[in-house]
Each structure stands twice: as C-alpha cells, then as structure tokens.
Amino acid sequence: MTDQDRVFIFDTTLRDGEQSPGATMTHEEKLEIAGLLDEMGVDIIEAGFPIASEGDFNAVSEIAKNAQTSVICGLARANIGDIDRCWEAVRHARQPRIHTFIGTSPLHRAIPNLTMDEMAERIHDTVTHARNLCDNVQWSPMDATRTEWDYLARVVEIAIKAGASTINIPDTVGYTAPVESADLIKRLIAEVPGAEDVIFATHCHNDLGMATANSLAAVAGGARQIECTINGLGERAGNTALEEVVMALKVRHDIMPWHTQVDATKIMNISRRVATVSGFPVQFNKAIVGKNAFAHESGIHQDGMLKNAETFEIMRPEDVGLTASNLVMGKHSGRAALRDKLTQLGYDVGDNQLKDIFVRFKELADRKKEVYDDDLIALMRAGEDAENDRLQIVSMKVVCGTGGPAEATVEMEVDGADITETASGDGPVDAAFKAIRAIHPNEAHLQLYQVHAVTEGTDAQATVSVRLEEDGMIATGQSANTDTVVASAKAYVNALNRLLVRRDKAGPGSDTREISYKDVS
C-alpha cells in the first residue's frame, strides 16, 4: 500500500450533519463526538461553521484546542468576515484548515447575483485571503455536479493557483450517478492545470440513494478524500455514511485497492452516540450500523450461520465493534464490578459519576431481572436529570385503561418549588405531557417522539427521544426506563431543561436565528 492508495476521511457530522433541521447538538455533545472521531482515526473533522452563531464558534474553538491527531476544519462562505471568523476558531488546532466555498452552478450563481467573471474574482480573492491566514485551505464549488464544465474547470484552476490544497467537488443535491462521478474527477485531474498538486475530495448527498456509490466511484476516478457523516446524518436524505465507505473499502479491497486509517471497530460506539445526541435513530436495516445489519432471522439463514458464519456474512460483527450483549450482573453486584464493566464498555467514570450510576443501576436491577450490557449503555446515555436542572420530576402516577381518557398526576420541582398537577389525555404519555405543561407552561412544539426497546422481553428498558422546537430553538431530550411512560416524561423534561439552558444563553429578547451556509452573501 502506498500513499497514492490512501483515502483521507473527512467527517462533517458536526457541520453538514448537525446543520440538518432537528439534529442540533449541545456544546458538550459536539466535544464528545469530536473526541470520538479523533480517537477513531478520522483524518479531518469539519467541526462547524464558526460565523453561524456564538455557539458554533465556541464549539469549533474548543474542538480545535482538544484535537490530538485530526486536522480541524471550519466552514466559511466566500467573504472576508466568514474566513476571518473561521480562522479565529480553528487556529488553536495543531493542524487547522479553512474550508471556503461558493455556489458555482447557474442556479447558485443567481443568488448573490454575480456574473461569472465577478464570481471568479471573488474566488481568487477569498482563497488568497484564507491562504494568507492558514497554509491548509480547502475550496468547494457548491453544486459542482450541476455547474457547466468550462466554468467548473476555470474556477477550480483559479482556486488552485490562489493556494487551495484540497479541491472538494460537492454533489450538493445528490444528483450525480457513479459513472458521472468518476468521470468528473478524472477529467478535472487530467485537464485542469495544477490539479496534480492538490487532493480532490468528493462530497455526496444521498437524495437518490447513491451517495456511497458516487463517493467510491469518485475515488476510482482519482479523488483521495471522502466527505461523510456518521450514520449518513445530514439534510434531506443525508450525506455519504462514513461507516459504509470505510467498510466497503475494507471488505472489497480486492476490487477497490484503497485504504483509510479509520479504526472500524469504533464504528458501532460512535454510531449509537450520534443517534442518541442528534435524536435521529438509525433505521433497523441500515447498512453496517442498523440493528438488523448482522441479524440472521430466517430458519435457513440460522442453519447456514451455525455451520459457517461466512454463508451469509461478508464481515464479522466485531469488525465494526459490535459484540454480543452480555448478561451483566444482578442487584447483588458491587460498585467495583460495575466500574470494571463500564471500563470494558468504554466508559471511564470518575468516583462521583460512579456513585450516581450505581444508584441508577441498583434501581434498574430491582425492576429488571437481568441487566445486559445494552441496558448499562442505555443508562449511561440517558439524559438523566442533573442536580442543577431547573425542572425535575419528583414522582408520577398514571391511570389508564379501556374505559376513557388516561389521567396523569405529576409532581415536579421547578426552580426549587414543589408543584403537582393532574391532567387527562389521549393515552398515558399524552396525559403526562399535559400535566408537565400545566406545571411548566411553554409553547414548545413536539417535533419527534420515539421509543425503542433496549433488549428483548416485556421488562426491557425503553429509551425515549423527544425533540422540541420553540422560537426557532431546537432541543432533544432522552431517557431510559423500564416504564415507557416514565421514560417519556423524563425525556420530555430533559428536552425542556435543554431549551431553558439555550434560552438563558441567548439572553432575553435576543435574536436566536443562526446563519445557514445557504445564506449567501
């Protein structure tokens, strides 16, 4: 394997993924995901869009300070203000990168109302400015796959001459197809002067379900950087999924002789984490990371699998970090055993956190006969009430049945005051949410309510995700409990607490709108 065979993995979960409506992550969650990406060997992390908001700026700066081996990249539109702000955030990194872009297709050129020549000049000036700040500059002609060939070749040459060392070719609307994707990169490399001195990147969206195929075809055409997100998170149908390109290159190395430096055994963990913090669960039959991706349900399959796993498996579950969910322990297990188990599962807990998780583990073991690895993982991930949360559920009681509406009585502590309300609703969850709204009146709209069983059986824990939107602010809450209604109420309150934190940070009457990378200026 030579350097020519190396494909750089550029992860944009925290920028293109996070920018998709509803996938908003908190500051701490962004830092955690960036840490996991860094640890798994992702080459470049696009940490955010620093001009978009104070929050984005702070997250990119802190990720830049913490990064160990990954290059940290920030996004900037083609203007001096964006690029300066981006540099301010990424400059703390050991290896910073500025990624600047402009829409070059006819439809995108019409937005800033620039002529082709004016846009070419803007590209020259902005890439030059970025290059004067940072010696690692990436440039993207947004909607490249719908840009006229002559103009695309012309602006790519300008960006290379102005000092960009990576040229990214985005398929912004998921329009291209594999043969075209390969040809476009091949032709750019063959015909644009200076192309041999830069890395070409591919950035595909999945609107026609071809993002992974298009990315791999681009690599066959000569691209050496794939832009992708964990679980394919992203607007509309999402971006190329990191796990798919990494595993495709591994499993079919015979016909795709390129390699990445990603540690694939870390895939499952980060996939679950991104699903939880983004509130976008992974579909059961999703390639590589779906719950059923390695399940063999039918009789024929099971028989074949028992004889030889390779009958129906082209990769092993452990290759992507999936291990069988083991029985953990029961209610007599001690604190040291719990710490050991958490360490094995990849959680490094301090004494105080262990104390808290031990109490919750004991509560769970009292309710549930058998506690599995997956139960512990759910416990660790649940957005449980923190001591300083303004809203806390103290107790709740629900009456429901076939005879009429359900009724919920919820007791909560709100900024230290104890309040109890009863409400009826269309089912126990609706009644509980109404009682919580009576205690803490709010205008938040419920955008998403999702329930998943962690393990099998009627005593399985339910993990619940709730996404709320209020005045343009979005917050996702999670909880896990053997009682689905309790998990639902706690997830709802978790999301409300997050909205309160976001509102406090924004300040009274402040404009909470954030700039999107589509707001061209």
Q: What is the 3-state secondary structure (H, E, C) of 264-321?
A: HHHHHHHHHHHHHHHCCCCCCCCCCCCCCCCCCCCHHHHHHHHHCHHHCCCCCHHHHC
97 binds, among Zn ion, ligand KIV, none (CB under 5 to 8 A by kind): none
Shortest Å distance, C-beta 1 to ligand KIV = 29
Which one of residues 55, 96, 170, 477 is an interface residue with ligand KIV (CB under 6 A)? 170
Which residue(s) pair with 166 in the sheet? 138, 199
Which one of residues 34, 45, 142, 429 is an interface residue with ligand KIV (CB under 6 A)? 142
101 binds, among Zn ion, ligand KIV, none (CB under 5 to 8 A by kind): ligand KIV
Residue nearest to Zn ion (CB): 16
Taking alpha carbons only, the member of 138, 128, 123 closest to residue 74 is 138
The token pair that represents 273 in the structure block? 């984490």
108 binds, among ligand KIV, Zn ion, none (CB under 5 to 8 A by kind): none
361 binds, among ligand KIV, Zn ion, none (CB under 5 to 8 A by kind): none
Q: Give 16 or 389: the residue with its C-beta nearer to Zn ion.
A: 16
517 binds, among ligand KIV, Zn ion, none (CB under 5 to 8 A by kind): ligand KIV
Q: Which residues contact 419 (CB under 8 A, 6 or more apart)?
A: 411, 412, 413, 439
> Please, are residues 207 and 235 in contact by the beta-carbon 8 Å criterion?
no
Shortest Å distance, C-beta 52 to Zn ion = 14
Shortest Å distance, C-beta 114 to Zn ion = 21
Q: Give 16 or 470: the residue with its C-beta nearer to ligand KIV.
A: 16
Q: Give 87 or 517: the residue with its C-beta nearer to ligand KIV.
A: 517
Phi-psi region of 513 (alpha: psi -120 to 50; beta: other; left: phi over 0): beta
CB neighbour class for 514 (10 Å; exposed up to 12, middle 13-18, buried from 19) = middle
Q: Phi and psi of 198, rounded to 5°?
A: -120, 165
Euclidean distance between CA atoms 168 and 158, whole angstroms: 14
Q: Give 16 or 319: the residue with its C-beta nearer to Zn ion.
A: 16
The answer to the question of residue 137 lying near ligand KIV (CB under 6 A) is no
Q: Give 17 or 163: the residue with its C-beta nearer to Zn ion.
A: 17
Secondary element (H or E) of residue 395: strand 391-399
Shortest Å distance, C-beta 137 to ligand KIV = 14
Shortest Å distance, C-beta 141 to Zn ion = 12
Euclidean distance between CA atoms 136 and 205, whole angstroms: 25
Q: Give 52 or 493: the residue with its C-beta nearer to ligand KIV.
A: 52
The token pair that represents 149 in the structure block? 């060939």
Shortest Å distance, C-beta 203 to ligand KIV = 5
The token pair that represents 419 in the structure block? 């309040």
319 binds, among ligand KIV, Zn ion, none (CB under 5 to 8 A by kind): none
The answer to the question of residue 294 lying near ligand KIV (CB under 6 A) is no
Which one of residues 24, 136, 140, 476 is an interface residue with ligand KIV (CB under 6 A)? 140
Residues that bind Zn ion (CB under 5 A): 16
The answer to the question of residue 172 lying near ligand KIV (CB under 6 A) is yes
Q: Which residues contact 79 (CB under 8 A, 6 or more apart)?
A: 126, 521
85 binds, among Zn ion, ligand KIV, none (CB under 5 to 8 A by kind): none
Q: Residues in contact with ligand KIV, total (CB under 6 A)?
A: 9
Q: Give 237 or 354: the residue with its C-beta nearer to ligand KIV.
A: 237
Query: In this structure, what DSSP letter does residue 45 have?
Result: E
Q: Write out the binding residues for ligand KIV, residues 180-209 only, by CB under 6 A.
A: 203, 205
Shortest Å distance, C-beta 29 to Zn ion = 21
Please, how many CA atoms are within 13 Å of residue 213, restricted to the half-sphere of its CB? 12
The answer to the question of residue 101 lying near ligand KIV (CB under 6 A) is yes
269 binds, among Zn ion, ligand KIV, none (CB under 5 to 8 A by kind): none
**Are β-strands 137-142 and 96-103 bridged in parallel, bridged antiparallel, or unpaired?**
parallel
- Length of the chain in residues, anyone? 521
The token pair that represents 468 in the structure block? 């709320």
Taking alpha carbons only, the member of 49, 89, 84, 85 closest to residue 66 is 89
Phi-psi region of 163 (alpha: psi -120 to 50; beta: other; left: phi over 0): left
Which one of residues 7, 10, 14, 16 is an interface residue with ligand KIV (CB under 6 A)? 16
Q: Give 294 or 517: the residue with its C-beta nearer to ligand KIV.
A: 517
Q: Which residues bind ligand KIV (CB under 6 A)?
A: 16, 101, 140, 142, 170, 172, 203, 205, 517
